[in-house]
Amino acid sequence: MRVWNLDNEYDKFISFVLDGREKKKKNVRDAVETIKNEIISKREKALVGFSRKWDHWEKEYSLKLSEKEIREGASKIDRTDTAVLRGMIENVTSYHKNQKGKNRTYKKKGLLVREEFVPLEKAMVYVPGGTAAYPSSLIMGVVPAKLAGVKEIFVTTPTLNGKVNPYVTKAAALLGIKNMYRLGGAQAIYAFAYGIGAIPKVDIIVGPGNAYVEEAKRDVYGSVGIDMLAGPTELIILCTEQFSPKALSWDMFSQAEHDEMAMVGLFSSSRDHLKKIDDYVKRFISQNERKDTVEKALKNNGFLVLYKNVEKAIEAINHIAPEHMELVGNERHTEKIDYPGIIYVGPYTTVAMGDYYIGTNHVLPTGGAGRFTGGLSVERFTKRKVIVTIDKSFIDKYGDSAIRLSQIEGLFAHGEAIKARKEL
């Protein structure tokens, strides 16, 4: 991994990170547009065709799993691992259960406004798949949807050779999910955004995915809601004191193994510390079960950063707004760090525990989206409903001012509508 000197190369380093993000998107957009056009023209036939091509289906499967298939898949998981999944569900539920927005009433003479949070009717939870299984992402998406009161929850996941990972079906069964589909990639996003064949059109699509899934979500926003842009994973570690090269290297490996497009980096004020970390990475990268993916991620998107001024390091991290951040050292610096999707603080708070068992949501904004949004929550599955009533006294008091504003803006009918009420 390249070592950047932040004091001398600040602008070049920021450009390296931001330009790297854009390069990942460049070819993806054209590919996703092709997928979209194929689905629009060939509908369900295109979905099956893509599954045969990319998920290596040797025969045609029903896109929707039967309840029997879910039960049979779930039955393959033993009691010990079932308890592990239940434990995660309990922790995620415990953290999320009080997140729903609070109803409120606003009153003023002649005016009554009521705000209520109503659940969305249909949500699709995307669960990544392919070379790894993610029952954890199913839990992270379904639990807040259920707590919000979403009426219909649909789960979809890529299925290599048409087979759904049994841990994913077990998590679905534990959460009472009956609407489950064997469909992944950008094609899954378009299918549920538009309603293709027997696949329903939903109100919101949530869940992490690769760059193709992220681009498809960006494209369908407006036709449906999305949680956020949650693409290839990102991690930046800020060390304000020297800490275990072994622990830090495995933290970096843990995010690099998700995707060869993953971005991982570490800031330290000690050149010797950075060298020890780099040496450990080189020595132990071969121990990763997903070695090829880790190597590509670190080669293309990994970095080490030497800094002298911690304020400058924090400025860079806020600018980049990575999906995950770890802070090891002076915890008071959290007061100035605002934009990572989540901040894990202290020597024991590894991002891997956040992915599974802390209870906070691991569906988080990537690509700098942390500058304006946060992670998935119960509130994201709700809509703010606003009910307004005014009486004659309010019209009498503020009507003339509102009429004047309509004249300033050149909107004649607005003023006439208000005048008509004043005359009642």
Show which residues are catalytic.
323-324
CA–CA–CA angle 324, 129, 237 (5° rounding):
15
Q: Look-up: residue for tokens 């991982």?
A: 264
What does the alpha-carbon distance between residue 213 and residue 44 come to, in Å, rounded to a whole number?
Answer: 18
Give φ, ψ of 347 to 5 degrees: -70, -20
Kindly write down the DSSP assignment for every residue of 44-103, as one continuous string. HHHHHHHHHHHS--SS---SBPPHHHHHHHHTTS-HHHHHHHHHHHHHHHHHHTT-SPPP
Q: How far apart are CA 238 and CA 347, in angstroms?
A: 11
Give the Cα separation of 126 and 241 in Å (integer): 39
What's the order of all strands across the beta sheet hosting 263-268? Answer: 2-5, 302-306, 263-268, 234-239, 324-328, 342-345
- Strand blocks (E) in 11-75: none
- Give the span between the Cα atoms of 397 and 380, in whole angstroms: 37
How many Å apart are CA 229 and CA 231, to the nearest integer? 6
Q: Spell out the residues 6+ positions from residue 294 whose beta carbon is closer than 8 angstroms to its own.
A: 253, 256, 257, 285, 288
Instruction: Determine contact, residues 378/385, Cβ cutoff 8 Å.
Output: no
Q: CB within 8 A of 170, min separation 6: which ones? A: 73, 74, 76, 77, 81, 82, 85, 135
**Alpha-carbon span 19 to 17, nearest angstrom:** 6
Largest CA distance in the chain: 83
Burial class from Cβ neighbours inside 10 Å (0-12, 13-18, 19+) for residue 115 reads middle
CA distance 62 to 198: 10
Q: Which tokens belong to 50?
A: 């893509």
CA 339 to chain CA centroid, nearest Å: 15
List of residues 6+ apart from 338 with CB closer than 8 A: 318
